[in-house]
């Protein structure tokens, strides 16, 4: 890498690889993935050319929301292993040059957390005010119209005390009261606990939801309902969340949180935030008062898959990041969103993968996307995701299709778990061909294309640290841009359509990579669905 890219931090130059621990590798034959399984696969992860592994929650949990309902923030759930297993994972990752990021879930606990059990003891219990309580409305009933992301009201009555408690997700995921300084202190200790254990960073769950408006007013109707964010949410989208999301106090708490992260060297946090650009970038803070290192940019998931739409967004996002002094980042998939190969369609899969790995900013890769895993259809009777089960009328709400076991080989259970054991979610029907082992042997596989892209990033500093500029072409269905650094210029050409596209001098230079698996001469028009990277 050049000196310039050498100045970047690991979370700027590297790729983050997300693992859904239940689904990566089962080491003890119970059909659910675990920490020892992940540790055994770390050499594979290092071989992908990624820099950091982010683990979705592994903490003690009743698993109502598969770990996003935490009963003890400082212990590992026995399903996944022990603290010793975790230490071994971190040591092995670090030995291989990989950073380890955990999922920090500060907005809510499980109702099985000791804090909530204490809070249920009544008005005078020491932890009562650690959660958000309201009296029934005058005349009885719900305190206001706030809704849960998973459907139904965001309030559940505690019959013993006669008060309602707030939960933006399941009733078994009560919201913590971040206005209470004791809550903040306790939750910041959690961060220190893991950083002392060697954790390099955190993905912070629903960070834009931490605070609610103190007046507890009804939220207005959304004239534009039906947008889907986390897990379907048709009902949740019928309101405009002006009192439950993106509150000024949330920004304050994040500044405090950042102070805690900065007590340790070279750590970072990335925040889960589903907001439009003008509200998203403020979460990076300012160079003087920084907030999250990376506010997740989910726009490649949310925007229509068209060259012009994506170009327009990329131009605006890049410019705004520069203005704000923020480092950009890009995401195509995660455990809440359908697999991108299914979303954009198989012919566009490599265009999307190329885009993710060549735009300016940190890419996050969801496990299995590197081998081209697709949504696995899950019939309602096999569904386990609460978001799907609670919203039977929203056929897209379930997140099981993107959470199925990793496909390692063509053997029994695709190598995910022991032969004869039922994996917690069904395996993909195409696992005998779409798997790591088979794809390693095939030079033209999705896996080898992914590795070619990460190798290119390692070899061509402009792709990591270079400036971004979009380029005009005569074709609406082509998105072209350059990345330049100290005299080195790389052009990325993406054909979103199904016609040959002659790009003339834009394609001139030396072809470094093509999604077609060859190295075409510059005169050859961009073929249908082709992604090409050219050294100009
Ligand atoms: C986040 C997680 C999602 C979870 C929700 C509640 O959106 O990504 O999986 O269900 O928070 O914790």
Beta bridge partners of 221: 239
pLDDT at res. 224: 79
Distance CA 22, CA 88 (A): 18
Above 80 in pLDDT, residue 234? no
Above 90 in pLDDT, residue 235? no
pLDDT at res. 229: 56
Q: Which domains does the chain have, with CATH numbers?
A: 10-109+181-449 (3.20.20.80), 114-166 (3.90.400.10), 466-535 (2.60.40.1180)
Q: Return the residue whose CA atom lies nearest to atom 3 of ligand 1.
A: 336
How far does the centroid of ligand 1 lie from the alpha carbon of residue 346, in Å? 27
Above 80 in pLDDT, residue 244? yes
Q: What percentage of the chain carries pLDDT values higher than 70?
A: 97
CA neighbor of 496 nearest in space, from 285, 354, 336 = 354
Above 50 in pLDDT, residue 7? yes
pLDDT at res. 9: 98
Q: What is the pLDDT of residues 88-139, one digit of tens each?
A: 999 999 999 999 999 999 999 999 999 999 999 999 999 999 999 999 999 9
Mean pLDDT computed over every residue of the chain:
96
Give the pair of three-digit tokens for residue 412: 């029994």
Sign of CA dihedral 79, 192, 69, 292: negative
How far does the centroid of ligand 1 lie from the alpha carbon of residue 206, in Å? 7
- The reply to whether ligand 1 has any atom less than 6 angstroms from the CB of 326 is no
- The reply to whether ligand 1 has any atom less than 6 angstroms from the CB of 203 is no
How far does the centroid of ligand 1 lie from the alpha carbon of residue 99, in Å? 23
Q: Return the residue whose CA atom lies nearest to atom 4 of ligand 1.
A: 68
Q: What is the pLDDT of residues 28-45, one digit of tens each?
A: 999 999 999 999 999 999
Give the pair of three-digit tokens for residue 189: 């200790």
Distance CA 432, CA 236 (A): 39
pLDDT at res. 75: 98
Listed in order, strand segments (DSSP E) in 367-503 are: 467-471, 478-485, 488-495
Give the pair of three-digit tokens for residue 35: 């920490």
Cα 208–Cα 403–Cα 369 angle in degrees, nearest 5: 90
- The reply to whether ligand 1 has any atom less than 6 angstroms from the CB of 65 is yes
Q: Return the residue whose CA atom lies nearest to atom 12 of ligand 1.
A: 68
How far does the centroid of ligand 1 lie from the alpha carbon of residue 207, in Å? 10
Q: What is the pLDDT of residues 367-379, one digit of tens each?
A: 999 999 999 999 8
- Confidence class of residue 391 from pLDDT cuts 50, 70 and 90? confident
Q: Which of 61, 105, 232, 336 to mutate to test the pocket of ligand 1 (most atoms within 8 A of CB)?
A: 336
What are the two backbone dihedrals, phi and then psi, of residue 73, each rounded to the nearest 5 degrees?
-70, -15
Q: Which of 67, 113, 206 to mutate to test the pocket of ligand 1 (most atoms within 8 A of CB)?
A: 206
pLDDT at res. 380: 87
- Confidence class of residue 3 from pLDDT cuts 50, 70 and 90? very low
- The reply to whether ligand 1 has any atom less than 6 angstroms from the CB of 336 is yes
- The reply to whether ligand 1 has any atom less than 6 angstroms from the CB of 230 is yes
Above 60 in pLDDT, residue 230? no
Distance CA 115, CA 112 (A): 8
Distance CA 242, CA 220 (A): 8
**Ligand 1 atom with the shortest distance to the CA of 169:** 6
Cβ–Cβ under 8 Å, residues 128 and 158: no
How far does the centroid of ligand 1 lie from the alpha carbon of residue 192, in Å? 22
- The reply to whether ligand 1 has any atom less than 6 angstroms from the CB of 246 is no
- The reply to whether ligand 1 has any atom less than 6 angstroms from the CB of 131 is no
Q: How many CB atoms lie within 10 A of CB 313?
A: 16
- Side-chain half-sphere exposure of 307, counting CA atoms within 13 A: 24
pLDDT at res. 228: 53
**Ligand 1 atom with the shortest distance to the CA of 335:** 9
Q: Which of 55, 57, 63, 65 to mutate to test the pocket of ligand 1 (most atoms within 8 A of CB)?
A: 65
- The reply to whether ligand 1 has any atom less than 6 angstroms from the CB of 206 is yes
How far does the centroid of ligand 1 lie from the alpha carbon of residue 230, in Å? 7
| Residue whose entry in the numeric block shows the structure tokens 């230490």 | 87
Distance, C-alpha 53 to centroid of its chain: 12
CA neighbor of 434 nearest in space, from 424, 447, 422, 416 = 447
Which contacts (CB < 8 Å, 24+ apart) does range 165-170 have? Answer: 165/119, 165/131, 165/132, 165/133, 166/131, 166/132, 166/133, 166/134, 166/212, 167/108, 168/107, 168/108, 168/206, 168/209, 168/244, 169/65, 169/68, 169/69, 169/108, 170/64, 170/65, 170/69, 170/386, 170/390
Sequential DSSP letters for 183-205: HHHHHHHHHHHHHHTT--EEEET
**CA dist 417 → 30, 363, 404 (Å):** 8, 29, 12
| Residue whose entry in the numeric block shows the structure tokens 């803070």 | 285
Overall average pLDDT of the 253-269 stretch: 98
How far does the centroid of ligand 1 lie from the alpha carbon of residue 273, in Å? 11
What are the two backbone dihedrals, phi and then psi, of residue 103, each rounded to the nearest 5 degrees?
-95, 120
How far does the centroid of ligand 1 lie from the alpha carbon of residue 204, in Å? 10
- Confidence class of residue 5 from pLDDT cuts 50, 70 and 90? very low
Q: How many CB atoms lie within 10 A of CB 485?
A: 18
CA neighbor of 58 nearest in space, from 103, 88, 122, 114 = 103
Distance CA 47, CA 412 (A): 24
What is the DSSP code (8-state) at residue 261? H
Burial of 269 (0-12, 13-18, 19+ CB in 10 A): buried
48 or 231: which carries more pLDDT confidence? 48
- The reply to whether ligand 1 has any atom less than 6 angstroms from the CB of 335 is yes
Q: What is the pLDDT of residues 398-444, one digit of tens each?
A: 999 999 999 999 999 999 999 999 999 999 999 999 999 999 999 99
Above 70 in pLDDT, residue 26? yes
Catalytic residue numbers read 205, 272
**Ligand 1 atom with the shortest distance to the CA of 336:** 9
- The reply to whether ligand 1 has any atom less than 6 angstroms from the CB of 205 is yes
**Ligand 1 atom with the shortest distance to the CA of 334:** 8
Above 80 in pLDDT, residue 1? no
Q: Which of 22, 57, 68, 388 to mutate to test the pocket of ligand 1 (most atoms within 8 A of CB)?
A: 68
How far does the centroid of ligand 1 lie from the alpha carbon of residue 231, in Å? 8
Q: What is the pLDDT of residues 451-510, one digit of tens each?
A: 999 999 999 999 999 999 999 999 999 999 999 999 999 999 999 999 999 999 999 999
């Amino acid at each position: 890498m050049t000196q310039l890219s050498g100045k970047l931090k690991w979370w700027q130059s590297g790729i983050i690889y997300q693992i859904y621990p239940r689904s990566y590798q089962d080491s003890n034959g119970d059909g659910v993935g675990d920490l020892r399984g992940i540790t055994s696969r770390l050499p594979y992860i290092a071989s992908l050319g990624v820099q950091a592994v982010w683990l979705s929650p592994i903490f003690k949990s009743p698993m109502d929301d598969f770990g996003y309902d935490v009963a003890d923030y400082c212990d590992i759930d026995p399903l996944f292993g022990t603290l010793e297993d975790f230490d071994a994972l971190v040591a092995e990752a670090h030995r291989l040059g990989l950073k380890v990021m955990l999922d920090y879930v500060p907005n809510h606990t499980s109702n099985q957390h000791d804090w909530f059990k204490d809070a249920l003891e009544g008005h005078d219990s020491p932890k009562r005010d650690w959660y958000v309580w309201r009296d029934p409305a005058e005349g009885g009933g719900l305190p206001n119209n706030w809704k849960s992301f998973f459907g139904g009201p965001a309030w559940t009555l505690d019959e013993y005390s006669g008060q309602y408690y707030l939960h933006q997700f399941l009733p078994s995921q009560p919201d913590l009261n971040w206005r209470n300084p004791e809550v903040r202190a306790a939750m910041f200790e959690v961060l220190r606990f893991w950083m002392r254990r060697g954790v390099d960073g955190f993905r912070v769950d629903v960070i834009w939801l931490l605070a609610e408006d103190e007046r507890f007013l009804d939220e207005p109707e959304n004239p534009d309902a039906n947008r889907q964010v986390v897990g379907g949410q048709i009902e949740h989208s019928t309101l405009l969340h002006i009192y439950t999301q993106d509150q000024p106090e949330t920004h304050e708490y994040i500044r405090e949180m950042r102070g805690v992260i900065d007590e340790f060297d070279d750590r970072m946090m990335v925040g889960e935030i589903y907001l439009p650009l003008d509200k998203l970038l403020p979460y990076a803070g300012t160079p003087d008062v920084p907030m999250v290192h990376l506010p997740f940019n989910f726009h490649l998931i949310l925007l229509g898959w068209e060259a012009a739409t994506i170009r327009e967004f990329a131009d605006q996002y890049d410019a705004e990041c520069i203005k704000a002094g923020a480092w950009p980042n890009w995401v195509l998939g995660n455990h809440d969103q359908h697999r991108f190969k299914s979303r954009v369609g198989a012919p566009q899969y490599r265009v999307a993968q190329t885009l993710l790995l060549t735009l300016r900013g940190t890419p996050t890769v969801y496990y299995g996307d590197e081998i081209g895993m697709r949504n696995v259809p899950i019939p309602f009777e096999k569904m386990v995701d609460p978001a799907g089960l609670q919203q039977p009328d929203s056929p897209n709400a379930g997140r099981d299709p993107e959470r199925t076991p990793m496909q390692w080989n063509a053997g029994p259970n695709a190598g995910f778990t022991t032969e004869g054991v039922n994996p917690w979610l069904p395996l993909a029907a195409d696992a005998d061909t779409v798997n790591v082992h088979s794809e390693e042997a095939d030079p033209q596989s999705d896996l080898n294309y992914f590795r070619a892209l990460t190798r290119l990033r390692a070899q061509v500093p402009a792709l990591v640290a270079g400036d971004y500029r979009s380029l005009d072409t005569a074709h609406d269905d082509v998105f072209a841009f350059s990345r330049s650094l100290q005299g080195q210029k790389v052009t990325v050409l993406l054909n979103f359509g199904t016609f040959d596209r002659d790009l003339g001098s834009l394609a001139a230079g030396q072809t470094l990579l093509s999604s077609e698996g060859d190295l075409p001469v510059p005169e050859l028009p961009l073929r249908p669905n082709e992604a090409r990277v050219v050294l100009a």
